Every structure is written in C-alpha cells, then in structure tokens.
Amino acid sequence: MHASRLTHIPAPDGVAPGKGYTHVVSGSGRLVAVSGQVALDGDGEVVGEGDAVAQARQVFENLRRCLAAAGATFDDVVKLTYFVTDVGHLPAVRAVRDAYLDPDRLPASTAVQVAALFRPELLMEVEAFAVVPEAGE
C-alpha cells in the first residue's frame, strides 16, 4: 500500500469540509492518468443498461484494471472526475466507490452532470489520476 506517500487535506483553513471527498491530495512520484472509463466489458458490450449500480461496478472494475496496468491501485488515486447523465446516479456511484477506496482517505473529486455520453445507454464515465512511487522508492 502506497497511501503513506500521499497527503490528504480534507478541509484547508477557511474551506468548508466536503462530504465524500478530500479538497486537496498531494504526493510525490510518477503521475498516472486514466482515461474516462464507462460500463463496457472486455468485449465492448454495455454492462447494466439502465442500472446505475451495475454500471458503476463495471466502471470501477475497469478503473482498477487500468490502474493495475500502470502499477497503481486505488490507494494511489489523488483525483477522480465523474461525468454522469443524471446527478441522481451519484449515490449509487459513491456506494460502489466506497467498496474500492478507503472512505477515510478519499481522493479529490469533481462531479459534473452532462447531457449525454458517447453511447446513449451509458449513464456515467469516471477518470482517475494517481501518483505511484518512482522505481526504487
């Protein structure tokens, strides 16, 4: 677990604490950027059409696989950006997120409602930034 390299500042002086995210996360190491992931399986088929929980599970599983390919885990994530077609999906997304990330060390986050994603049956897309140790750290 690499989380000790990261510093979480939940609420800087004069900034109201956020619910379900950390305002500032910093760290040293190699930056890993993961493109927005959607609820497509390994064959490119939509998982959970119309089901925000099923789509969130697939999205976070895809994120996990992408992070692993770069030698990272969710412990290394410093920022998540959520694009949802309906902010009403956020409780489902957060519930699934909490199964993958330590709720006491959440990354910085941004959530944006969008009119549509690249396929109409997709309800969300999530991108991630992580910081992993340099070789030899």
Quote the number of domains for the chain.
1
The answer to whether residue 111 sits within a structural domain is yes
How does residue 5 score in pLDDT terms, banded at 50, 70 and 90?
A: confident
Residues 32-66: tens digit of each pLDDT = 999 999 999 999 999 999 999 999 999 999 999 99
Task: Kindly tell me if the per-residue pLDDT of 1 is higher than 90.
Answer: no
The answer to whether residue 91 sits within a structural domain is yes
The answer to whether residue 23 sits within a structural domain is no
Domain encompassing residue 88: 3-10+33-132
The answer to whether residue 17 sits within a structural domain is no
Residues 95-106: tens digit of each pLDDT = 999 999 999 999
The answer to whether residue 22 sits within a structural domain is no
Question: How far from chain centre, in Å, is Cα 54?
Answer: 15
CATH number of 85's domain: 3.30.1330.40
pTM: 0.92
The answer to whether residue 61 sits within a structural domain is yes
